[in-house]
Amino acid sequence: MVVESILMKESEKKIFERLENLYCEMDSAWEKIASLYGFICNGCDENCCESEFYHHTLIEKKYLLKGFNQLPTPQIILATKRAKKVCTKRDIAAKKQESIRIMCPLNQDGKCILYKYRPMICRLHGIPHELVKPASYSSNSNTKPLSDINPILISDANPVLSSGCNAGSELFSAKGYIKFDRTPFYSEMAAIEKEYLTTVVGKNVRNKQTIAQMLTKISF
Ligand code: SF4
């Protein structure tokens, strides 16, 4: 039992390293393209941390919580309180069928307190991009979990182009679209999730949570 648990920890550590490498690649690709536009993400009225995104991988949740548990206790308590408030406000809005913008509980005084551990969507947001999605997967649906996506299927479909954020719109239209393909990042993330579910979790678990939900429903 002890040996099994040590092996599990080792597997998890290796998968975290793979995830960190992917995050590094995303960050440098994003920086490179943003600099070609002359775009700097430096706080704006339309703060993307006020947009609620669903995150679909368990490995990213686990990694985020790893960082969260290393925060000083007072910061953990405050962020958990903020997360509970966000969930309550969101539930009220959902009942009224209203859409709301609400600040992520990890944003404190305009800064992400888990910047190093932030998930993929937070890293890729902002600049115009393309993504090839298989028809069976939609980031807003409960269909296939990321780990079920076949990278070969991804490469056979047509890319979907998306515009960047409003803060950079003038810069983006002045330069025209500079290719930023998210597909290889999604593909590698799907492979990492699959490895994590197979070698560490031992079953196929679907995840679809906002950051606030992750912080209030900590176990999985
Ligand atoms: S995790 Fe950090 S970067 Fe992402 S939305 Fe929350 S505060 Fe913003």
Mean local confidence (pLDDT), 170-191: 95
Length of the chain: 220
* Ligand 1 proximity of 55 Cβ (cutoff 6 Å): no
Q: Is residue 42 part of a domain?
A: no
* Ligand 1 proximity of 49 Cβ (cutoff 6 Å): yes
Q: Which atom of ligand 1 is nearest to the CA of 107?
A: 7
Q: Is residue 41 part of a domain?
A: no
Mean per-residue pLDDT of the chain: 88
Taking CA atoms only, the protein residue closest to ligand 1 atom 8 is: 49
Ligand 1 mutation pick, 63, 65, 104, 123, max ligand atoms within 8 A of CB: 104
Q: Is residue 43 part of a domain?
A: no
d(CA 153, CA 43): 37
pTM exceeds 0.85 for this model: yes
Structural domain of 143: 2-36+48-214
d(CA 57, CA 8): 18
The domain tally of the chain equals 1
Q: Is residue 173 part of a domain?
A: yes
- Nearest CA to 120 out of 183, 66, 163 is that of 183
Q: Is residue 32 part of a domain?
A: yes
Q: For residue 208, how far is the Cα from the chain centroid?
A: 11
d(CA 202, CA 194): 10
d(CA 78, CA 105): 9
pLDDT band at 100 (very low <50, low <70, confident <90, very high): confident
Q: Is residue 220 part of a domain?
A: no
Q: Is residue 132 part of a domain?
A: yes
Q: Is residue 149 part of a domain?
A: yes
Instruction: Kindly report the number of other CB atoms within 10 A of residue 168's CB atom.
Output: 22
